[in-house]
Every structure is written in structure tokens, then in C-alpha cells.
């Protein structure tokens, strides 16, 4: 039999696939390489090139030394802002989504499908359409330019996804479990806490990963509703570019971008396989 590995058609496939992969990875490669080159080097040569020597100080500068919007503390405070927004919003939207998903899937009540439909309709509303209503809401409750305001937005907007995920997971749980628990004397929350939640690990991992990545990477709300010291890191990166518009600092900028992307990359590397597994898992074996 002929060795198929070296068949010309096979080689062609590998070639095409490699080209696509290279095209997708090129921006990442440029940013990673530039984050390790000095400014002079980038200015003298070009945006694309190997570092002559590894300029690790770019990372130090990006983290805590560089000036953004007249404060010279690097992107560290903005990273902290992002953490303070992302973690509570992820937790709240996941908990509320699990409870709501449990309610609409396992407790039949009048209008349950309508409520579910309206909540998930949020998935299809463009973000821009929500800016104005949120401006009014945040203004009226006094949360403009606060991290709390962003937590509120992300918690509520996140419900569309978390309810969808959890509801679709919970519908596979047999209703007889709920009936048995009701006869045993357990109420809505006791059943959730003692019976449903222990079955929920796969879908909770999925929603946490999903919410964390989306809230961390979110930009529009951050840049619209916060300014200066209150900005999450995604919005601050833009400010950083603006601040150094006259003297380009591509090395430091690249390092800042990579630092800002690290949390979601880590989540993906650590939790990626649970994500796929959780999406395909059934609740009760």
C-alpha cells in the first residue's frame, strides 16, 4: 500500500491548512514578538521582526510604570478594575441564571415559557441598542462612572446566556425528582440547593467560563460608562494608545495587550476541556 502521508493531495491539504493557521496566528505572533522588542528597535527596523534581545522591561513598564491618562501606574489599577467588575458579575449572573433556569425548566407556572423567551431575547438585541436605556438607568440610580454600575450591567445582560445554558441543561432532569422531593417536604430553594445544584457542576463551569471571558473582554460599556480611574482594562488600553500617540511605544503597548489578555487565556487553557465537556454533558446518567 502506498504511504498516504506523502500523497500530493495530502500535502496540498496540509499546505492550505498551514497557511490559514499562519494567517490567524500572525497578529498574535507580531504582538508577542513586539512585546519583547525595545522601542528603538521597532522604530529602526519595522513592526515585524525578531527581538535582538529580550526586552522584558516592557512588561514591567506596562504593568506598573507607564502613564495612562496622567497617572503613571501602568495598567495595574485597570486590571484590578476589571477583576472587581468581572468576578462579582460572573458570580451573580451565574447564580441568578442557575436559579432562573431551574425555575423555568422544572417548575411549571403560568407564563414560564414567555419569561424564558423574553430573557433570552436579550441575546439578539445589539449592544448599541442597550446603551441609551442603561445610561438613563445608571444616571437615575447614581451609578454612572462606577464599577458597581458595570457589575449591574454585566449581571443583568449576562442573564440571557446563563438562563439559556442552565435551563437547557436542567430540562433533561426528570420531573419525578422534583415531585419526589416535594412529597418529601422540600421547597423551591431546598430542592435547588440539595438536589439540583449538586448535579450542576458541568453547566456551572460552562457559564462561569463564558461569563468571565465575555465580561473581561467587554469594551463598549466600559468605555461608555466609565472614565479615568474607573475604567476596566479593555477601555484603558485605548487610553494608553491615545496617550502615546505622538511617540509610539509599540513594545510597551504590546506587553500591555498581552497582560490584559492573560486572564482569559488562562481560563481557556485551564477550563477549555471542561467547557466542551459541560456543553455536551447530560445532567443525570
Partner 1 sequence: MAALSIRTLSKRYANLEVLKGIDLDIESGEFTVLVGPSGCGKSTLLNIVAGLDRPSEGTVEIGGRVVNDIPPKDRDIAMVFQSYALYPSMTVRQNITFGMECRHVPKAEQEKALTNVARLLQIEPLLDRKPSQLSGGQRQRVAMGRALVRDPLLFLFDEPLSNLDAKLRVEMRMEIKRLHQRIGATIVYVTHDQIEAMTMATRIAVMHRGVVQQFADPDTVYRYPANLFVARFMGSPPMNTMPARLEADASGLVAVIGAGRPDEVRLRLQGYDAAAPFVGREVVFGIRPECIAEGSRVFSGDAPIVVNAPVEMVEPTGAETIVLLRLGGESALARITPDIRPTPGTPAAFALDTRRICLFNPETERLIA
Residues at the site binding partner 1, with contacts judged by CB under 8 A = 174, 176-177, 179-186, 190, 194-195, 198-199, 284-285
Least Cβ distance, residue 183 to partner 1 (angstroms): 5
CB of 178 to partner 1, least distance (A): 9
- From the CB of 174, what's the least distance to partner 1, in Å? 5
* Minimum distance from residue 35 beta carbon to partner 1 (Å): 46
Grid coordinates standing for 28?
498574535
Residue 267 in grid coordinates = 481560563
CA distance 46 to 226: 35
Nearer to partner 1, 245 or 284 (CB): 284
Q: And the C-alpha cell for 224?
A: 461608555
Q: Which of 193, 167, 191, 169 is nearest to 180 (CA)?
A: 191
Residue nearer to partner 1 on the CB measure, 139 or 182: 182
Tell me which H or E stretch contains 9. Answer: helix 8-34
User: 106: which 3 cell numbers?
Assistant: 422544572
Instruction: Supply the DSSP symbol for 192.
Output: I
Identify which of residues 190 and 273 has a Cβ nearer to partner 1 in the complex: 190
Tell me how far, at minimum, the Cβ of 189 lies from partner 1, in Å. Answer: 12
DSSP 228-283: GGG--HHHHHHHHHHHTSSS--HHHHHHHHHHHHHHHHHHHHHHHHHHHHHHH--S
Residue number with CB closer to partner 1 (133 or 198): 198
Which residue, 139 or 175, has its beta carbon nearer to partner 1?
Answer: 175
Among left, alpha and beta (phi > 0; psi -120 to 50; other), residue 111 is left
For residue 107, the minimal CB distance to partner 1 (Å) is 12
Nearer CB in complex with partner 1: 117/282: 282
Q: In the chain, what's the furthest Cα-to-Cα distance?
A: 77
Q: What share of the chain is helix, strand, coil (3-state, %, to 5)?
A: 75, 0, 25
Amino acid at each position: 500500500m502506498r504511504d498516504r502521508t506523502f500523497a500530493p493531495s495530502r500535502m496540498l491539504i496540509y499546505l492550505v491548512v498551514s497557511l490559514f493557521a499562519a494567517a490567524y496566528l500572525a497578529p498574535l505572533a507580531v504582538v508577542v514578538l513586539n512585546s519583547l522588542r525595545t522601542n528603538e528597535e521597532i522604530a529602526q527596523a519595522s513592526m515585524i521582526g525578531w527581538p535582538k534581545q529580550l526586552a522584558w522591561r516592557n512588561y514591567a513598564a506596562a504593568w506598573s510604570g507607564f502613564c495612562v491618562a496622567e497617572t503613571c501606574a501602568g495598567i495595574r489599577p485597570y486590571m484590578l478594575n476589571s477583576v472587581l467588575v468581572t468576578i462579582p458579575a460572573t458570580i451573580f449572573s451565574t447564580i441568578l441564571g442557575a436559579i432562573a433556569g431551574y425555575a423555568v425548566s422544572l417548575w411549571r407556572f403560568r407564563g414560564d415559557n414567555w419569561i424564558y423567551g423574553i430573557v433570552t431575547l436579550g441575546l439578539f438585541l445589539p449592544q448599541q441598542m442597550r446603551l441609551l436605556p442603561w445610561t438613563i438607568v445608571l444616571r437615575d440610580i447614581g451609578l454612572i462612572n462606577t464599577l458597581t454600575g458595570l457589575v449591574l450591567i454585566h449581571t443583568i445582560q449576562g442573564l440571557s446566556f446563563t438562563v439559556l445554558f442552565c435551563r437547557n441543561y436542567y430540562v433533561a432532569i426528570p420531573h419525578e425528582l422534583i415531585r419526589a422531593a416535594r412529597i418529601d417536604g422540600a421547597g423551591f430553594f431546598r430542592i435547588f440547593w440539595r438536589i439540583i445544584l449538586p448535579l450542576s457542576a458541568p453547566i456551572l463551569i460552562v457559564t462561569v467560563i463564558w461569563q468571565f471571558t465575555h465580561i473581561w473582554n467587554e469594551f463598549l460599556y466600559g468605555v461608555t460608562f466609565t472614565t479615568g480611574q474607573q475604567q476596566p482594562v479593555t477601555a484603558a488600553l485605548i487610553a494608553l494608545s491615545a496617550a502615546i500617540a505622538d511617540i509610539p511605544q509599540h513594545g510597551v503597548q504590546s506587553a500591555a495587550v498581552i497582560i490584559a489578555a492573560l486572564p482569559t487565556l488562562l481560563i481557556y487553557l485551564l477550563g477549555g476541556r471542561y467547557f466542551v465537556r459541560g456543553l455536551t454533558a447530560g445532567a443525570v446518567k
